[in-house]
């Protein structure tokens, strides 16, 4: 069974930092790119960042570029998101996401999501 479990969210003041973690199990973690996606009531789902399976390639949404850093530890099957210089508009539920091979699904990929972790940036 595929499981993605996020942790590390919380309340932080503007300008502060948080590190989110995602523990993965039930699939070959090192074979897949991984992503962070966030959701707010007003904006809906917003892609934040993706890291390649080996961790060499990373991409970021313009809204977080230069402030957030995605990383992974394939030996520990862990995904991370270091968030610095946090802004109130970063307030959201953050999800860890994996798109795993499955021919039954459109594009041959099935999305898996964690339960999410709440990040609130407020003074």
CA dihedral 82, 49, 113, 19 (to 10 degrees): 0
Q: Looking at residue 91, what is its pLDDT?
A: 96
Per-residue pLDDT band at 13 (split at 50, 70, 90): very high
50 and 64 in contact (C-beta within 8 Å)?
no
Average pLDDT over residues 29-46: 93
- Between CA 48 and CA 64 the distance in angstroms is 7
**Polymer length in residues for the chain:** 123
pLDDT higher than threshold 90 for residue 54: yes
Rounded to the nearest 5 degrees, what angle is found at the Cα of 51, between the Cα atoms of 61 and 59?
30
The pLDDT score that the predictor gives to residue 24 is 98
pLDDT above 90: residue 41: no
Percentages helix, strand, coil for the chain (3-state, rounded to 5) are 5, 55, 40
pLDDT > 70 in the chain, percent: 100
pLDDT at 123 (0 to 100): 95
Q: Give the residue-averaged pLDDT of 96-117.
A: 95
Q: Of 4, 37, 8, nearest to 21 (Cα)?
A: 8
What pLDDT, on the 0 to 100 scale, is given for residue 42?
80
27 pLDDT band, cuts 50/70/90, is very high
Mean pLDDT estimate for the chain = 96
Asked if 96 contacts 113 with a C-beta cutoff of 8 angstroms, the reply is yes
């Amino acid at each position: 069974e595929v499981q993605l479990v996020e942790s590390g969210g919380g309340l932080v003041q503007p300008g502060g930092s948080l590190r989110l973690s995602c523990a993965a199990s039930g699939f070959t973690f090192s074979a897949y790119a991984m992503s962070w996606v966030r959701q707010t009531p007003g904006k809906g789902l917003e892609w934040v960042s993706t890291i390649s399976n080996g961790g060499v390639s990373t991409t970021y949404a313009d809204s977080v570029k230069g402030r957030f850093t995605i990383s992974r530890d394939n030996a520990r099957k862990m995904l991370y998101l270091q968030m610095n210089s946090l802004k109130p508009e970063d307030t959201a539920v953050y999800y860890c996401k994996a798109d795993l091979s499955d021919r039954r699904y459109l594009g041959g990929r099935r999305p898996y999501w964690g339960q999410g972790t709440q990040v609130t940036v407020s003074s």
